[in-house]
């Protein structure tokens, strides 16, 4: 019986460690040939010298298990290098079928003390990095579809975060980037559906180098798989990359520890209509202030409350 991704090729960014590594190994286990991308900088803030080591190590793991893999240590936040990454997959494997965007960095700071560089660098790697690879992969699929006169096979899996859903006080740059990724995903899903391409986003919760502080108080179990292990997330990525997920498009899914939640698009919670041509301050005060009267001062709306999830 053929494997679900047999004959397909994939790119996974940020695949030298953590979530990306688990996702690359899972795609290879399901039969895909994988380009393992990781810039290889040792600091989770994007600091340190770039290195081919992490990407090559994962590629070697895949090859040792009998799979096909190449390493690429380019910076996906650089437009030209992202194009080179897609070109590498097409040149070496004949085409690109799956793009998993996972690469990211952290530069945490409260909004009142964040520097311009801390803001720009996180937006650059997360949001621009997702756009760069998506742009070149989308062009590849569009050209193939036009040449064939028919739809082609294409899958994009982007990485957002519950920080976008529920907020994260010390991560305004990260939360904004992850929210932007959701907007990029839904826009891409609409634009590429006609070519046979789907685009979805996940909000994973996993213990990695980037989340070591967030989950510092959550101990690892003495036995069995850690509920926060990246291996809980990877199967969903494998599914979304597969032919079985052909009808899943423009979706946002939260995943961790044996749980998957499908997030609805925002719905109107309450509506107020003016009794005249336009609202006045007094009218808005009379309508909106009572509506929020029962909420504790300073409390914000959290979509995670609707999902019954704790913030991650």
What is the set of active-site residues?
161, 174, 178
Residue 38: phi and psi, rounded to 5, are -160, 130
In the numeric block, the tokens 């030298």 are attached to: 16
Q: Decide: 20 and 102 in contact? Cβ < 8 Å.
A: yes
Residue 311: phi and psi, rounded to 5, are -65, 140
* Structure tokens given for 195: 């070519």
In the numeric block, the tokens 């799956």 are attached to: 98
Torsion sign (Cα): 134, 137, 141, 143: positive
Q: Decide: 82 and 133 in contact? Cβ < 8 Å.
A: yes
Q: Decide: 306 and 267 in contact? Cβ < 8 Å.
A: no
Nearest one of 303, 47, 76, 75 to 175, comparing CA atoms: 303
d(CA 224, CA 221): 7
265-274, long-range: CB within 8 Å, 24+ apart, which pairs? 266/303
Q: Decide: 82 and 76 in contact? Cβ < 8 Å.
A: yes
């Amino acid at each position: 019986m053929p494997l679900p991704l047999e004959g397909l090729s994939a790119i996974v960014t940020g695949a030298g460690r953590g979530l990306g590594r688990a996702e690359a190994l899972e795609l290879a286990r399901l039969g895909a040939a994988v380009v393992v991308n990781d810039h290889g900088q040792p600091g989770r803030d994007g600091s340190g010298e770039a290195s081919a080591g992490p990407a090559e190590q994962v590629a070697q793991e895949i090859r040792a298990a009998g799979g096909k893999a190449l390493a690429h240590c380019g910076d996906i936040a650089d437009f030209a290098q992202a194009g080179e990454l897609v070109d590498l997959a097409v040149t070496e494997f004949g085409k690109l079928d799956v793009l998993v965007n996972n690469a990211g960095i952290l530069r945490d700071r409260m909004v009142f003390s964040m520097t311009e560089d801390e803001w720009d660098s996180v937006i650059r790697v997360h949001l621009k990095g997702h756009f760069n690879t998506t742009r070149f992969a989308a062009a590849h699929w569009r050209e193939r579809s036009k040449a064939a006169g028919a739809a082609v096979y294409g899958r994009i899996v982007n990485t957002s975060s519950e920080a976008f859903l529920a907020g994260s006080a010390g991560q305004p740059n990260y939360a904004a980037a992850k929210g932007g990724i959701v907007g990029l995903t839904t826009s891409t899903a609409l634009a590429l559906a006609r070519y046979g391409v789907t685009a979805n986003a996940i909000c994973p919760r996993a213990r990695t180098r980037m989340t070591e502080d967030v989950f510092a108080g959550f101990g690892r179990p003495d036995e069995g798989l850690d509920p926060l292990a990246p291996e809980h997330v990877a199967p969903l990525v494998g599914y979304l990359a597969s032919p079985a997920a052909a009808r899943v498009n423009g979706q946002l899914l939260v995943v961790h520890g044996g749980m998957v939640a499908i997030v609805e698009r925002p719905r109107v919670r309450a509506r107020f209509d003016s009794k005249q041509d336009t609202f006045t301050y007094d009218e808005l005060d009379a309508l909106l202030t009572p509506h929020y009267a029962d909420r504790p001062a300073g409390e914000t709306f959290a979509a995670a409350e609707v999902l019954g999830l704790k913030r991650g």
